[in-house]
Structures are given as structure tokens and as C-alpha cells.
Amino acid sequence: MWFHRPAVFLLTLAALASGACAARTGRVAAAPQVPAAAPVVAAQPASPPAPVASPLHTLLAASDAAATLAEAQFSEGNFESARAGFNEALDILLSAAPALRDQVEVQTAVERLIARISTLELESRGDLAQADSAEDGTTLDRLLATPTLGPPMEATAEAVADDLATTTHDIDIPLNARVLSYVELFTGRLRSFLEESLNRGARFLPMIQDALRAEGLPTDLAFVPVVESAFNPNAMSRAKARGLWQFMRGTAVENGLRHDWYMDERAEPGPATVAAVRYLKSLYRTFGDWHLALASYNGGPGRLQKAMKRSGKTDFWTLSATSRYLPRETRDYVPLILAAVIVARNPTQYGLTLMPTAESAAFETVAVPSPVDLRRLSEAIGHPMSAIQALNPALRRWVTPPRTDTFQLRVPEGTADAAAAYVATSTGGDVTPFVWHTARKGETLASIARTLKVTRLDLAEANFLSLRARVTSGTRLVVPRPPGTVAPVPDERASVRQTAAAPRRSATASAVHRVRKGDTLGSIARRYRTTVADIRRWNRLTGHVIRPGDQLTIRQPHDAPTYN
């Protein structure tokens, strides 16, 4: 611009003046010779420095971004990814440096995130806290989708014959083409699958074999999970079969596994193995033959008995030689199991390279007499939620079950003392997803469910009741509702009612709450319709521990009701 070039501007004025004189006198003046000057670059105003985000802002933004992504995964039904994302969002806050973690903004963010997760958890009917890890159907589906390549080679038959001549099996293994074809598959295109399965299963095999020996069953059955789940204790099929042994819910409950609103023991390798051994033993008693017993484990004893009655055949191999009586899955299930047993018993001989995965994480157990929110426990012991969930795969919620005399919670090794200290100060009042309803005279499960807008099934399961159970006046029921949607009325003898989200007024009043036996910061926060983070900030508390007789300042709008 011209005002940045003063030298050029003066020369231009001189030239214009000379031109004007020449016009008046009729003479044209020669243009003055101006030496070429280096181009002048206009000075640019300095840009203000970009604002530097504070560590607090960065921390909160990172946690919120992880939670938002997790919510998107949840909305698409990807519960495994959603659970991992929410754990990450929580761990970002809980793993911050103490100077940041103790700030009110971070504590408030933790409380809101826990409530945010709890709402979605209840909507998912437990699939968020105990997410399945099945990718594309069951392991068996994927095995059956890999076709065999015609008749087995002669070399395979010779190798297996030599193996069976020197290896003692406690299940009869016939050298037929169907078994040999699957041996070729496991040592060929499915070699990596079998290696991964056996590597994963190395830590479970001793436990499974011990359980089989204790009941006098063949130890070769220890390799059934290769075909069922590839030894993945979290696997779940499209039909909702779960765990190492792929139990359906009904079969699991019939064989002693717990499955309710809080727990699903199908995901626990130990209890699930005990149930599987019990079930296999009963099937063998029914059919008297292990090939038939295995077929019934897959297709159900009723279907197999019906097929045997229709065909008049009592031998699995003749019964399964045609597609008339049994579905393909059951016909191929038994030869798949037997082929897996052959190769798994002598993996090196068949060219497999095994590198067993690490042993399970070391843990300690803590007796939990009342419900505990695992996310708050995670903060208390300084370990991520994923570590606690991995040690307690049967839990379907982010809380331990109520009304259990003493629930044995596994915690990472070295944290039992810290966990026990937290449990000792928690009476269940700070468990976010739990809202309680005290039944009144004349109320039933159905009427309570209608009033509180929950399903009758969820209400019954959350309280360990049958759908037809009667409730008596004074019975306290857990209400499986998202937090913040219901709250207790003053004397707790009346029903839970909906709470309208009324806007806060700027005018506030202070109240003093004297801590009573059984009070927790969570229960006090709900009573006054505030947050734990606010109570801690108002009273300059550095932790969650309060004792009977303590006096806490509570600040509220003038018209906010309090329940004492």
C-alpha cells in the first residue's frame, strides 16, 4: 500500500509536479532517472499467539471425546467397543496426577460420567458391562464355513494311524474320512486358528482336565471348547450362547450356573466347566456312547432322541451318514471334536507351533457384603476398570450384586487392603444405578412396574423374584432405572416418584447435614439433589470418607426440597 512506501510517494509527487509545469509551458520534461529499488514488503501485523489449553481443559476434553465415541459405538450396538471406550474415558480422569484429580471439575466430571454410563448400561440389559466378543457368529459357524477339500490324502491317514497306535485316547476315535478331512483342515488352512485356540486354552486345560477326572470322565473332552469357543471365555453366539462351553441360558441354569440381572456365570471358566462336566455326564448316562453324547451336546438330547427314533439307528456314524435326520452342524460337530482332539494331543507331530499366552493376572479376593460400584472402587485402588472387569467376568453390571451374604470380589494383587478399606466405608448408598422403592399395601410387581415405567421382567430379575412373586408391604425393591429419573420421597414409605428437572435458581441457602450411621456422600447427594463433587467442594473434603457425627454444609436453591 502507498503509505508503506514513503520514498516512492515523494518521487511520484515530484513527477506529477514536473508534468503539470510542462503542460503549462508546452514543454515536456524528461522523466527523471530513478534507480531501481529493492521491492518493499509490507509489514504484516503480528498474529496473536494461539491460546494454550490448560492441563485441566486437556484432561476433560480427552475424557469427553472418548465417552462421546463410546456412545456412538453403543448406538450402533458395538457393546465391546463401547465398554472399552467408557473405561478409557473413566481411566483418563482417574489416572490424572493428584493435583488434577482432586480438582472439583474433575470430580464433577467423574460423577457425570458414571451417571452417563449407568443410564446406557441399564438400557443395554447388561450387554454393556458384560460385552460379548463374538465377531462373526460362533467359532463353530466359522469352522463349518471352511470346507474340506475332498477325500483326505493317504499321507494324512498314515500319520493319524501311526499317532493313534502310540497315543492312548479315552474316547474312541474312528479312522474314517470325515475325521481325517478335519485333521487335514486343522493342520492346513485352519492351522493358525488351532494354534491360537490352544495357546489361549493352555491356562484353562489343567483346570478342565482336573474337573473331568474328578467326575470320572474322559480327559479328551477338555478339547471340546476348541470347537465351541476357541477357548474364549467371553465368546457369545448370535443365539446368545456364552462362554468357554457356549451354554444357552436355560441349560446353564439347569446345570447350576447363576444367571440373573447382576451375574452371568457362563462367563466364569471355573463354574462353567463344572456345569459342562455335569451336563456331559448326564448326556452320557442317557445315551451310553460318547459320540452320541457329544452330538446331543450340540443339537440337544430331545432332537437326537427323535432322530434315533425316526431312523431306527443307534450309531452316530450311520445316523449322520445322511442329511435326513440331523442338521449339518450336528453331523459335522462330532468329527470336528475328534479331529481337534487328535491334533491337540500331539501338536508338534502335526507341525503346530504353540506359544501359550500369559497366565491370568494375579489377584486377591475381598468380601463384599453390600453393593459396591466398581468404578468408584477402581478410583479407590488406583487400577483401571478393565482390570477389575477382567477378573470378574460374570458381573453383568458395573456393581456387585445386592442381597448376597458375602460376594467374593477379585481385585488386582496388592490392592486387597485398599479395596477392603473402601468397602468398609461404603454401605451401598453411593451405587449410582440403584434406586430403591418400598412397597405399599396392595402393590404388586406389575403395578409397581407400571408406576415406575420399568419392565416387570427387569424388576423381578433385579430383586431375585419370579414374575408371579407377591410383594408384601414394606418390602424394599431395587428399581432398575437410569439414575436421576426417580428419587425417594421423604419417609421412604411412599412410592418412588418422577423428579422433574426444574431449573436451579440463583438464590441459594445453606443447610447443615449431620452424618448418620449408614450415610455416604452418594446417599446424601441424592437426598439433597446435588452431586458428591459439590458436597466435597463445599466442605473441602479430599476423599469420600465421612463418619457419623460429621457436619456437612449443603448449598441449595431456596425452593429445593430436602429429605432428612
DSSP class of 260: S
Number of Cβ atoms within 10 Å of the Cβ of 49: 6
Q: What is the biggest distance separating any 2 CA atoms in the chain, rounded to whole angstroms?
A: 133
H helical segments located in 360-465: 374-381, 385-391, 416-425, 445-452, 456-462
Distance (Å, whole) CA 541 – CA 534: 10
**In this structure, which amino acid lies at residue 101?**
R
Distance (Å, whole) CA 200 – CA 195: 9
Q: Residue 144: phi, psi to the nearest 5? A: -70, -20
- With beta carbons less than 8 A apart as the criterion, state whether 179 and 339 touch: yes
Distance (Å, whole) CA 408 – CA 372: 12
**In this structure, which amino acid lies at residue 29?**
A
**What are 285-341's pLDDT values in tens digits?**
999 999 999 999 999 999 999 999 999 999 999 999 999 999 999 999 999 999 999
H helical segments located in 288-384: 290-299, 301-311, 316-319, 328-345, 374-381
Q: What pLDDT score was predicted for residue 7?
A: 40
Q: For residues 409, 411, 414 and 418, what is the CA-based torsion angle, rounded to 10 degrees? A: -70
- With beta carbons less than 8 A apart as the criterion, state whether 186 and 346 touch: no
Distance (Å, whole) CA 564 – CA 116: 27
Q: What pLDDT score was predicted for residue 125?
A: 54
Sequential DSSP letters for 462-530? HTT--TT----TT-EEEEE--TTSEE--TTSSSPPEE---PPPPS-EEEEEEE--TT--HHHHHHHTT-
Q: Which three cell numbers stand for residue 164?
A: 493313534
Sequential DSSP letters for 66-80? HHHHHHHHHHTT-HH
Distance (Å, whole) CA 260 – CA 463: 9
**What are 230-243's pLDDT values in tens digits?**
999 888 887 788 99
Number of Cβ atoms within 10 Å of the Cβ of 118: 25
**In this structure, which amino acid lies at residue 523?**
S
**pLDDT above 60 (res 56):** yes
- With beta carbons less than 8 A apart as the criterion, state whether 372 and 431 touch: yes
**pLDDT above 90 (res 485):** no
**pLDDT above 60 (res 120):** yes
Q: For residues 303, 306, 308 and 309, what is the CA-based torsion angle, rounded to 10 degrees? A: 180
Residue with cell 463374538: 134
- With beta carbons less than 8 A apart as the criterion, state whether 194 and 352 touch: yes
Write down the pTM of the prediction: 0.65
What are the angstrom distances between the C-alpha of 349 and each of 346, 395, 435? 6, 41, 59
Angle between helices 374-381 and 79-94 (to 10 degrees): 40
When pLDDT is averaged across residues 453-457 and rounded to a whole number, the result is: 80
Q: What pLDDT score was predicted for residue 464?
A: 79
Band (559; pLDDT cuts 50, 70, 90):
very low
Q: What pLDDT score was predicted for residue 501?
A: 32
How far, in whole angstroms, is CA 518 from its chain's centroid? 31
**What are 487-518's pLDDT values in tens digits?**
332 233 333 333 333 333 333 456 778 887 77
Identify the weakest region by mean pLDDT among 121-125, 158-162, 474-478: 121-125
- With beta carbons less than 8 A apart as the criterion, state whether 482 and 119 touch: yes
- The count of C-alpha atoms lying within 13 angstroms of the C-alpha of 101, restricted to the half-sphere facing its C-beta, is 14
Distance (Å, whole) CA 60 – CA 533: 15
Number of Cβ atoms within 10 Å of the Cβ of 381: 21
How many Å is the Cα radius of gyration of the chain?
35
Bridge partners of 557, per DSSP, are: 508
**What are 9-52's pLDDT values in tens digits?**
333 333 333 443 333 344 444 444 444 544 555 555 555 665 66
Apex CA 563: angle with CA 424 and CA 551, to 5°?
55
What are the angstrom distances between the C-alpha of 481 and each of 116, 363, 419, 497, 533? 13, 32, 27, 12, 22
Sequential DSSP letters for 128-148? TTT----SSS-HHHHHHTS--
When pLDDT is averaged across residues 158-182 and rounded to a whole number, the result is: 94
